[in-house]
Amino acid sequence: MKELYAAALLHDIGKFYQRTQDNNEKEKVKRAYKTIYEQEGAYSPRHQEWGAYFCEKLNLPNINEIKRLVRNHHKPTDVYEKIISIADMLSSGEREEKEDDCKNLISVLNLVKLNRSREEKRKYKRISRLSQFNELMDSEEQNISVSYKRLWDEFEGVIKEEGDIDRIYYILSEYTSNVPSAYYYSRPDINLFSHLKTTAAIAVCLYKQFEEEIKNGDYRKIDEIYTKVKLNKELFKENIFCLIKGDISGIQSFLYNIDMEDALKNLKARSFYLSYILDIIARYIVDEEGLTLSNILYCGGGHFYIIAPNKTKERIEEYKKKIQEVLFKAHGIDVSVLLSCVEFNIGDLATADFSKVFWAAGNKLSEEKFKKFSNILNEDFFMPRENINICPYCKREIKGDICEFCESFVELGNALYRNKYVYLHKREKFNGKVKRVEDVFASFGYEIEFTDQLNKKAFSVNKEGVDFKNTSGYIKTANYMYKEGSRVATLEEVSQKAQGIKRWGVLRGDVDNLGRIFLEGLGENKSISRVATLSSELEIFFGKFLEDYVRENYKECMVIYSGGDDFFIIGPWSSLPDLAYGLTHKFNDYTGGNSDITISMAIEIAPDVKFPVFRVAEDAGDSLDMAKEYERGGKTKNALSFLKDVIGWEEFEEFKEIKNDMKHLVVDKNVTRNIYYTIYSIINQYERSKEEGDLFKSWRLVYYFARLQERHKDAKENIKLLISKILKNNNSLYNKLFTATLWSDIESRG
């Protein structure tokens, strides 16, 4: 099966190679395959010949077999070639006709449409590495072959002589995610990597589902499936696949309920743990089933999806029990990973509506939430514990004053901070008592090592300029840490960076309408590879680009968590509003200005420097719900909750201007702080007049500002400007005046 997987993963790599339009390379491919492609009626090498020729540059075992499978996947004759051909067709979900000659990848995020009346404007991605952020283009590149050649040369330099299939997977992800799978189609918005990955996943599932028959020389099922898919006849209705969804619960209490000493380092360690325990559990299931990395369709944002052969469903209960047992040993009932499994057939892939399978898995998982720990319930589960010490943070039984389990997270944070690379590798499964964080990983057959030594299978902690020649990429979790000198800053030090009141704050946010985006936003073509492309575009923004933006522009802030579609940031409270607004613009650039994909956020300020993080995080979660419910002018969501009010992003610039105008008067023009209290008083009068149905006596505000101009003649024009902004023509006050005043007030305090 290893050769089948490798060939499926590489089956269309020739498309990338071919687009370099390198005549010297073309002549080499001709010499190698001219007789073969001319016999099939072709006049020049096709992508399958380019792909087979490329495979010679790799150092994989049985490379000749892999080359054969790659070259023949469009005209298959044996069972393995047919499996790849079936998977290739099912991955795209439909057979499209040639219509144009588009050569850049269209951003699928830009094409998402929830409002059907919105005009579609195509935006294009540059031919570039996945980890390099580039704004979308309005039109395609003119000298496209030059861009392909430049990227290909870098790709080949990294992958040449590579013999590890997992590293090949990671390198392909980096170099083929901004390349279209096919540019002959009317709308090429599926990236090549998503197509390669899903083709490989489907091929492996087909083989594993019919493995016994294939080994016995019975190819009838594969032949039948191939014929029906090829001819678009009535599709094979037998459920031969299943989709497994995993979801982690208990994140909030686990992540934020921590000792305030070294809180930031501890938060980073716990965020790392949550991300990697989910990844390791997904890998554990894949390993047990004899599947591959490609079968993990997605892992991030607190959940994963695995595509598996249908026979896997027979062992799902075993996996549930194993996961529950390990996590109960580690966390009691506080943290759990739930699994659901739904069957599906070839028709669900071929009809290009795979999102309904995702939806079914999600619905089934909701049912699992009512059956937590049902697999491990026994008499011991309910036995009262002895009267011994309990850790106030993880609730585990401890001896003495030190909790070894919590202490292991401190050590994890230190290792994450002090080392350059993380190496994830398999080991013998651990079956003992879970005392430390590494015991949890080991229970699923994995070990995480931190090192400063280069290792091709390791992941870089630093995400800047990652060297794929000597590593496998960068770690999944946010890693940037604000430092004071050579150590991670404390919350007290973060607070001191704030303007005005010295407090830290949190910024939480997530994508609006995510469920609708996946269910409705892709229109009629919701093929597995298109859904995978959409997932990958969101994943790279929240997994890397968001953190890059914070590191480059707000060094005093720290991304505690960012992945999937949401994030959590801690920083000086006064930095967070501008950071939030900047992130909306960054995301807007990334989606090509798509108004149907937006982010809502919430900011909460700690009442005290030593106030528990989990309390502020909970409040931010409640405030984020307020932002999601904010309605104005026919709009909802796409807003910021701040200071117990909600501001739409389209309102933010005016909101900030008024705050700055007030602050300028107080800080730069020596207007007394009494201006704030006067405005608060006038706002109260205004609200009372509305409640009682009286006419608002706006002359009092005008009179106050007139007197202010007399006392501060050098600020006369500034005061006039402010009054023009806060007093509207219809005798009403600016609707966010209280919040803007409060913002200016607390930001200008000395």
Q: What is the pLDDT of residues 444-491, one digit of tens each?
A: 999 999 999 888 999 998 888 788 999 999 888 888 888 888 888 899
Query: Could you tell me which of 323, 277, 328 has the C-alpha nearest to residue 302?
Result: 277
Residues (pLDDT < 70) of the chain are 93-102, 183-186, 233-236, 351-352, 370-388
10: tokens are 């590489």
What does DSSP assign to residue 179? S
Query: Could you tell me which of 634, 638, 614 has the C-alpha nearest to residue 624?
Result: 638
130, 300, 319, 501, 523 from 527: Cα distances, Å? 21, 20, 28, 52, 10
Q: How many residues does the chain have?
A: 750
DSSP element (H, E) containing 337:
strand 336-345
Query: Could you tell me which of 11, 345, 1 has the C-alpha nearest to residue 198?
Result: 11
The pLDDT, as a whole number, for residue 172 is 97
Handedness of CA 731, 732, 738, 743 (dihedral sign): negative
The answer to whether the beta carbons of residues 291 and 208 sit under 8 Å apart is: yes
Beta bridge partners of 639: 648
The pLDDT, as a whole number, for residue 98 is 47
The pLDDT, as a whole number, for residue 407 is 85
Judged by DSSP in three states, 264 sits in helix
- Distance CA(272)–CA(561), nearest Å, equals 8
The answer to whether the beta carbons of residues 569 and 579 sit under 8 Å apart is: yes
Beta bridge partners of 298: 305
Radius of gyration of the chain (CA): 29
Q: Which residue has the tokens 């997932």?
A: 535
The answer to whether the beta carbons of residues 331 and 235 sit under 8 Å apart is: no
The pLDDT, as a whole number, for residue 177 is 94
The answer to whether the beta carbons of residues 478 and 271 sit under 8 Å apart is: yes
- Distance CA(358)–CA(560), nearest Å, equals 28
- Distance CA(26)–CA(47), nearest Å, equals 11
Q: Give the Cβ contact number of residue 732 at 10 Å.
A: 14
- Distance CA(81)–CA(277), nearest Å, equals 36
- Distance CA(210)–CA(493), nearest Å, equals 60
pLDDT in tens, 666-679: 999 889 999 999 99
Q: What's the burial of 1, exposed, middle or buried (CB within 10 Å: 0-12/13-18/19+)?
A: middle
Query: Could you tell me which of 642, 634, 638, 663 has the C-alpha nearest to residue 650?
Result: 638
Pairing of strands 487-488, 483-484: antiparallel
- Distance CA(61)–CA(275), nearest Å, equals 33
Q: Which residue has the tokens 């350059």?
A: 420
Strands annotated E in 481-632: 483-484, 487-488, 504-511, 558-563, 566-572, 599-605, 631-632
In the sheet that 459-460 helps form, which strands lie side by side, from edge to edge?
446-451, 421-426, 459-460
The pLDDT, as a whole number, for residue 235 is 66
- Distance CA(730)–CA(713), nearest Å, equals 28
638: tokens are 């796409």
The pLDDT, as a whole number, for residue 68 is 95
- Distance CA(674)–CA(691), nearest Å, equals 26
DSSP element (H, E) containing 247:
strand 239-249
Query: Could you tell me which of 88, 72, 69 has the C-alpha nearest to residue 4?
Result: 69
Q: How far is Cα of residue 683 from the mean position of the Cα atoms in its chain?
A: 42
What is the residue-wise DSSP string for 501-523?
S--EEEEEEEETTHHHHHHTTTT
16, 21, 123, 151 from 104: Cα distances, Å? 12, 15, 9, 13
